[in-house]
Amino acid sequence: MSDPTTEMLSLRLEELLRSHEIDASIFAPFVIARLRGKFEDSEAVLLVRIGEVDASDERALQVLIQWEPGSAFAQPVAVQERVLTEWAALGVACLLLPGLLNVWITSVAVEGESFDDRVSDGSNEWGLEVSGTMTEYDGVLRGRLGLKIRQLQSNPSGMVGYVVVVAFVRREALVAVPDSENPEEAR
């Protein structure tokens, strides 16, 4: 595993949300609401750990997420905390997949597929399962990752894919990539 303090990558939220075949810009204010410490903040650091679905080896890096202040909610959020957290996690996934792995969302999954979205690199297609949590505990975060990997693997079409779990209190994201992918090749 690489030392997360030696590698820092800057990603622009709004720019990467526009890189999908769906309109992911809706997630920007949710991401900001969950990551912003103070009202005037326009960036946050997230520790990202990337590894293969069935492997224990992972790559860690610090990601500086930057956003435009005008992308934040102007008033209190009009959804419940659980919805805020899940949509923020979807936004983080929409940022990390193209920014780190050159993969983007092509469509929302249909009901019953056991994952959230379909993603592609232009040649291949995978499923994507995303989850957000407000936990402070690594064991809970890793347990959630395992649960979501099993959920993705149980889809009726047998499609493999990516899993992104974001712990907002910890400022950490775990990204599981299909075993055929090499996380060391991420740019």
Asked if the structure places residue 169 within a domain, the reply is: yes
Asked if the structure places residue 159 within a domain, the reply is: yes
**pLDDT confidence of residue 13:** 98
**pLDDT confidence of residue 5:** 53
Asked if the structure places residue 1 within a domain, the reply is: no
DSSP assignment of the chain = ---TTS-EEEEEHHHHHTTSSS-GGGGHHHHHHHH-SSTT--EEEEEEEEEETT-S-EEEEEEEEE--GGGS-SS--SS-HHHHHHHHHHHHHHHHHHHHHS-EEEEEPPTTSSSSEEEESSS-EEEEEEEEE----HHHHHHHHHHHHHHHHT-TT---EEEEEEETTTTEEEEEE-TTS-GGG--
Asked if the structure places residue 81 within a domain, the reply is: yes
Asked if the structure places residue 3 within a domain, the reply is: no
Per-residue model confidence as pLDDT tens for the chain (187 residues):
445 555 789 999 999 999 999 999 999 999 999 999 888 899 999 999 999 877 678 899 999 999 999 999 999 999 999 999 999 999 999 999 999 999 999 999 999 899 999 999 999 999 999 999 998 898 999 999 999 999 999 999 889 999 999 999 999 999 999 975 443 333 2
Asked if the structure places residue 62 within a domain, the reply is: yes
Asked if the structure places residue 26 within a domain, the reply is: yes
Asked if the structure places residue 2 within a domain, the reply is: no
- pTM for the predicted model, two decimal places: 0.91
Range of the domain at 26: 8-185
**pLDDT confidence of residue 182:** 43
**pLDDT confidence of residue 44:** 97
Structural domains counted in the chain: 1
**pLDDT confidence of residue 185:** 36
